[in-house]
Structure 1
Amino acid sequence: MANFATLDELKARLDWTLDADEERIATSALEDASDLASFHAGRDWPDAASAPRLVRTLVLKACKRYMDNPSGYTQSRAGDETLGWNDSQGENAGTVHFTDDEQKLLAEIGGKRAGLMSAGVSAWGSNIRQYRHRASYVPTDQSPFPLYRDEEEPW
């Protein structure tokens, strides 16, 4: 499985120069985001060139979000050394992840369409001619009730 973005493309989006340890983390983040993109899209492209450009963009967005805040902090204060987390990101806090909108977009790119679908439905043996000469009744409490009005017009 190929990475959909390169380390140099990620470096171009960051506001600082990565040291050796950050480069190692960024490389792992690119691999994780590429794996997640294939999962959410429901398909695997053989190489990065065959994938749509939007997949690369979403992978880079997820990696940049992670590299900007790898611990998933939601609050920080410099004076008293206060750091804070909350449950708004849930299990994704501090990990490479795609937002719900990004996941839906990846699913559409992969060919999955969310929403309602319709399918044609017909009754089994719905050929009227085979019922033309059959007498059918519906069971009731008192006496059987005819399912059809008469033999000539069954419906």
Structure 2
Amino acid sequence: MAIFATLEELKARLDWTLDADEERIAASALEDASDLAVHYVGRDWPDAASAPRLIRTLVLKACKRHMNNPAGYTQSRAGDETLGWGDVQGENAGTVYFTPDEQKLLQEIGGRKPGLISAQVTAWNSRRRPVAAGLVPVAEPAPDAKPFPLFSDEVEPW
């Protein structure tokens, strides 16, 4: 499975120099974000170079968000040592995650677009028969059955 970004690319996006523990956490975050990206896209690439560039960007963005706030705090006070987590992140607090908008982008890269679709439905073992405009098809009880006109006229169809 491809890891879509390197540790050096992530370091270039961070505002500080990583120590050994932070480098280990960052490498794990890159692996986790790449696995999540493959899940949302619905396919994998043999190497990161063959994957779309937007996937690398989204993986780096998720990893930077995690490295800036690894515990997922949404509130912090220095005076009384108050720390808090919000319900916005829910179960993703303290983990690498993609926002709902990032998830939609990844799904669209994989060809899965949300929305309504129209699918033609036919009965089992049935055959489509072409019908001229304005003619109503007739079941085939007799061999000479022909469609009859509903509102059709050769000169004036309406």
TM range (shorter): 0.7 to 0.9
Structure 1 CA distance for aligned equivalents of residues 147 and 79 of structure 2: 91
Provide the C-alpha distance between the structure 1 equivalents of 2:142 and 2:2, rounded to a whole number of angstroms: 66
Give the corresponding residue for 1:143: none
Task: Give me the identity figure in percent.
Answer: 73
Change (3 A) 1:152 1:74: closer
TM-score (norm 2): 0.80
- RMSD (Å), alpha carbons: 2.4
Equivalent residue, structure 2, for 1:67: 67
Aligned runs of 1:5-154 on 2, under 5 Å? 5-122=5-122, 124=126, 127=129, 128=137, 130-131=139-140, 133=142, 153=148
Residues of 2 paired with 1:75 and 1:64: CA distance? 19
Unaligned 5+ runs, structure 2: 130-136, 151-158
| Residue deviations 1:14-60 (CA, integer Å, cap 9, x gap) | 11110000000000000000000001000001100000110000000
In the aligned structure 1, how far is the partner of 2:85 from the partner of 2:117? Answer: 40
- Equivalent pairs counted in the alignment come to 140
2:138–2:147 Cα contact (<8 Å) kept: no
Worse overlay, 123-132 or 29-38: 123-132
TM-score normalised over the length of structure 1: 0.81
Asked whether the equivalents of residues 5 and 30 of structure 1 are also in contact (C-alpha less than 8 Å), the reply is yes
